[in-house]
Amino acid sequence: MSREKRRQVSRFPRSLFALYFLTLLLMSGIHMGLVVLIDEYHWHSIIQVLIPTLYWGLVAAALTLFTRHQIVKTYDRPMKELAKAAQRVAQGDFSVYIPPLHTTNRHDYLDLMFLDFNKMVAELGSLETMRTDFIANVSHEIKTPLAAIQNYAQLLRRPSLTKEEQENYISAILGSTRRLSSLVTNILKLNKLESQQIVPRFQPYDLCGQLSECAMSFEPVWEEKEIDFEADIEDRAMVYGDASLLELVWNNLLSNAFKFTEPGGTVMLRQTSDETHVTVSVSDTGCGISPEAQKHIFDKFYQGDTSHATEGNGLGLALALRVLQLMNATIQVDSAEGHGTTFTVRIPTEQTRKESS
Ligand SMILES: Nc1ncnc2c1ncn2[C@@H]1O[C@H](COP(=O)(O)OP(=O)(O)OP(=O)(O)O)[C@@H](O)[C@H]1O
Ligand SMILES: [Mg+2]
């Protein structure tokens, strides 16, 4: 039976009619018997009136009690339970669970209401946890660079500083402010993407040109870290997407690859196309990601290195995933700890979009 159909099943069974009908039939039978009895014994006329009145009074009282019991059992008790649960939720307790009244195959609309209520409370609970986690994460990410700025600023006050020390402290302060500023920019961007304030501007464009530009902007990084960078990109591949949003994805994948690869390692950018999709993969021979960490890398603020010694705030992949979802693209990670990582992105080609629209 479908969920909707089950909803419509009444909480008062049809058998109740039969019960009332048979009871009243029986009662009126007894009434007739009483009348015959009274006639036979020629009782006083007052008793003749009193006995049936008393009898029907008792019958009415019994029926009232039975109906009251039915209403209490059917509506009052479940509603009171729901009211109590709702009150607990209103007070901030999201561990509330109301068990359904019947087994799964006999669910009626009240059972479904309870199940929906439980689901709502669970959702609210997880939203609340996400909110508190988010505040804790943001506070932590802000606190670390702020503490660094404070310390270096205090050191700068020393009168006996050499020029070199001064320069070092100033660059440390500037590094921390850059970190703070990128944190705020990323949070704002993610927030706008999630609340759909950024409407992607879809347009056909050449992905190969964009990939080459992004890769070239990392030249100072691979030169400084002495990382071997290899690129294997086609001449032209038209995709349909928002170029400025997709740039965030390539920049983050490449920055991660360079960040998590030791000097002397290799980073590879590959791009291929088939009829339906353009595939971009970024591989590195870096530290790799454990299977457990792979489950969390797309979570906001997740950083494998919990000491937060590496640069960043753990927002890059969360942003990349959100952007790719908006572009109807997919991202996949393959990694072996100690050997390296490959992120593979698949974006529909412009042709696929034309055919599907
Ligand atoms: N190529 C990679 N090799 C090893 N670990 C990686 C790689 N890419 C991502 N990770 C792991 O996933 C985590 C999350 O990545 P993400 O890009 O979201 O954050 P981040 O790079 O630490 O900070 P941000 O991107 O905000 O600057 C990283 O901290 C790292 O632990
Ligand atoms: Mg990153």
Residue range 237-250, pLDDT digits in tens:
999 899 999 999 99
How far apart are the CA of 297 and the centre of ligand 1, in A?
7
**Where are the alpha helices (H) located in 91-226, listed in sequence order?**
109-156, 163-194, 207-217, 219-225
Q: How many angstroms separate the CA atoms of 252 and 352, rounded?
A: 26
pLDDT band at 1 (very low <50, low <70, confident <90, very high): very low
Residue 334 β-bridge partners: 342
- Distance (angstroms) between ligand 1 centre and the Cα of 211 equals 20
Q: CA 14, CA 21: separation in Å to the nearest integer?
A: 11
CA of 314 to the centre of ligand 1 (A): 6
Give the ligand 1 atom nearest the CA of 282. 1
Nearest-ligand number for the alpha carbon of 343:
1
* CATH of 133-194 given 3.20.20.70, 1.20.272.10, 3.40.50.150, 1.10.287.130: 1.10.287.130
Sign of CA dihedral 351, 353, 356, 357: negative
Q: What is the pLDDT of residue 308?
A: 59
DSSP 36-83: HHHHHHT--HHHHHHHHHHHHHHHHHHHHHHHHHHHIIIIIHHHHHHH
The model's confidence at residue 5, banded by pLDDT at 50, 70 and 90, is low
Q: Ligand 1: which atom is nearest the Cα of residue 286?
A: 3
Considering the entire predicted model, what is its pTM? 0.71
User: Among 229, 256, 285, 343, which is best to mutate for testing ligand 1, by the most ligand atoms less than 8 A from CB?
Assistant: 256
- Give, in order, the Cα–Cα distances in Å from 161 to each of 151, 153, 155, 168: 15, 12, 9, 11
Question: Which tokens go with 340?
Answer: 């390296």
Residue 244 to residue 282: CA distance in whole angstroms = 19
The CA distances from residue 149 to 115, 173, 312, in Å, are 51, 5, 16
> Given pLDDT bands bounded at 50, 70 and 90, which one contains residue 4?
low
Determine whether the shortest distance from the Cβ of 302 to ligand 1 is under 6 A: yes
- Tokens of residue 333, six digits: 């990670």
Of 142, 285, 317, 342, the residue with max ligand 1 atoms within 8 A of its CB, to mutate for a pocket test, comes to 317
The model's confidence at residue 357, banded by pLDDT at 50, 70 and 90, is low
**Is residue 7 scored above 70 in pLDDT?**
no
The ranges of the chain annotated as CATH 3.30.565.10 are 203-356
Query: Residues spanned by CATH 1.10.287.130 within the chain?
Result: 133-194
Q: Is 312 in the pocket of ligand 1 (CB under 6 A)?
A: yes
Containing H/E element for 256? helix 243-259
- Distance separating alpha carbons of residues 241 and 277, to the nearest angstrom: 12
**CB of 256 sitting under 6 A from ligand 1:** yes
Tokens coding 152:
């270096």
At 302, give phi and psi (nearest 5°): -75, 125
Q: Tokens standing for 135?
A: 């505040």
Higher per-residue confidence, 65 vs 6: 65
Residue 234 Cα to ligand 2 midpoint, Å, equals 25
Q: What is the number of the ligand closest to the CA of 316?
A: 1
Task: Confirm if 114 and 100 have CB atoms less than 8 A apart.
Answer: yes
203-356 belongs to which homologous superfamily?
Histidine kinase-like ATPase, C-terminal domain (3.30.565.10)
Cα 218 to Cα 244, 259, 319, distances in angstroms: 17, 11, 20
For ligand 1, what atom is nearest to the CA of residue 318?
A: 18
